[in-house]
Amino acid sequence: MQIAISQDNRLFSCGADGTLKTRVLPSAFNIPNRILDIL
C-alpha cells in the first residue's frame, strides 16, 4: 500500500489489489461560516 498527500489536503492511497482511493482531509484552520453565525 502506498499513501500520498497533496498540497490541497487530498489523500491518495493505493491498495495491494490496485484500487485507488482519494479522501479530502479536513483543515484545522478551516472554520465553516455557519459556526460563526451561531456564535
Q: What SS3 class is residue 14?
A: strand
Residue 2: what pLDDT? Answer: 84
* Residue 5, CB-side half-sphere exposure with 13 Å CA sphere: 5
Residue extents of the structural domains in the chain: 1-27
Supply the pTM of this predicted model. 0.52
Residue 25: what pLDDT? Answer: 79
Q: What SS3 class is residue 2?
A: strand
Residue 22: what pLDDT? Answer: 92
What is the tens place of the pLDDT at every residue in 1-39? 788 888 788 889 998 898 999 988 777 665 555 555 555
